Amino acid sequence: MLLEIKDLTKQFGGLTAVNRFDMYIDEGEIVGLIGPNGAGKSTIYNLVTGIYAPNRGRVIFNGKDITRMKPHRVAALGIGRTFQLNPLFPDFTVLQNVSASFHLHPHSNLFDIYFNTPTYRRNEAIIQQRSLEILQLVGLEKVKDDLAKNLPHGYQKMLGVARSLATQPKLLLLDEPLGGMNPAEIDFSLNSIKKMRQQGITIMIVEHNMRILDLCDRVVVINFGQKICEGLSEEVRENKEVISAYFGG
């Protein structure tokens, strides 16, 4: 098991956003986390990555308890993520967005950075090189010198994913990677996600768009902070509770 979430609970005042939630992810899987708006999907991401501290429960990553760990330490252990809103650094160029995300590997210490030592220069050259490779992977190398905030919406989403790849994650948490994309962009994104899996990255996806189900090995459905069903994509599609959560009735 790469990630294990046990009995996770988060309350905001009187509201229980996530209630006794359990799930696991095995290495190499693509797992979907779906549910209506406000079901608690993004809260789960924020609990796993340390932005929120849970009221109860544990998060175990790669055999290590990461509950209440600070976000930058979670990132250093190998959990990358994208954000649904604010997916990128708006005032950086596309290339800077990716190269700024190469904070962890290769890492230069403050002394090397400030005194511009050969180690630092070598690291920066590697970073520039790898940033361009990542931009080629997601097809953004043509706009690498544009400010990120000036990109069209679909490109911004893809840049968000490209940026998170720079942390070289073992587990990547994607937050609505297809939101607001047109069909062509969706095809392209699904393809990029497949490519990432081939590179050995385990992926968890929060998404509304049901086309994501084709990609997932397993799907977890939540509503009102609770898991209502879990299974293979086909099973979930047929599940009555899922249908009622999405369409009412």
Partner 1 sequence: MKRNGINRWAKPAAITGLIIILAILPLLLSSPYLLHILILTFVYVVGAMSFRTITISGQFPLAHAAFMGIGAYTAAMASRYLDWPPWITIPAGALTAGIIGIGFGYPFARLRTLYYAMGSLFFGVAITYIVQSLKVTGGYVGLTKVQPLFSTVSRVPYYYFFLGLALVCAVALYRFEFSRIGTNLKAIAQSHLLASSVGINEVRYRVLVVAVGCFFVGLVGAAFAHYTPIVTPSTFNLSATLWLAMYVMIGGMNSFAGPIIGTPILYFIPQYYFSDLRAYSPFIPAVILIIIAYLMPRGLAGLISILKSRYLDKFWGGIKAKEAADAVRN
Instruction: Kindly list the residues in this chain that would bind partner 1 in the complex (CB under 8 A).
Output: 49, 51, 70-72, 75-76, 80-81, 83, 86-93, 96, 99-104, 108, 110, 113-114, 116, 120, 124, 142-143, 145-146, 151-152, 155, 163-164, 166-167
The CB-of-5 to partner 1 minimum distance in angstroms stands at: 18
The identity of residue 113, as a single letter, is I
What's the CA gap between 227 and 100, in Å, rounded? 36
Write down the least CB distance from residue 163 to partner 1, Å: 7
List, in order, residues 6 or more apart from 164 with CB less than 8 Å away.
Answer: 80, 81, 82, 101, 172, 174
Element (H, E) at 126: helix 118-137
Q: Which residues pair with 80 in a beta bridge?
A: 172
Q: For partner 1, give the closer residue by CB, 101 or 189.
A: 101
Rounded CA separation 120/116 (Å): 6
Beta 3-12 vs 56-61: how paired, if at all?
antiparallel
Instruction: Indicate the residue among 91 and 235 with the shorter CB distance to partner 1.
Output: 91
Distance CA 98, CA 96 (A): 5
**Shortest distance, position 245 Cβ to partner 1, whole Å:** 28
Nearest to partner 1 of 61, 102 (CB atom):
102
Q: Which is nearer to partner 1, 177 or 219 (CB)?
A: 177
Our CA dihedral for 26, 242, 222, 41, rounded to 10 degrees, sits at: 90
Residues with Cβ within 8 Å of residue 115, at least 6 apart in sequence: none
Please state the closest distance from residue 153 (CB atom) to partner 1, in A.
12
Least separation, in Å, of the C-beta of 105 and partner 1? 9
Give me the least distance between CB of 174 and partner 1, in Å please. 12
Q: ∠ at Cα 131 (129, 135), nearest 5°?
A: 120
Comparing CB distances to partner 1, the nearer of 36 and 179 is 179
Residue type, 123: N
Of 40 and 169, the one with the shorter C-beta distance to partner 1 is 169
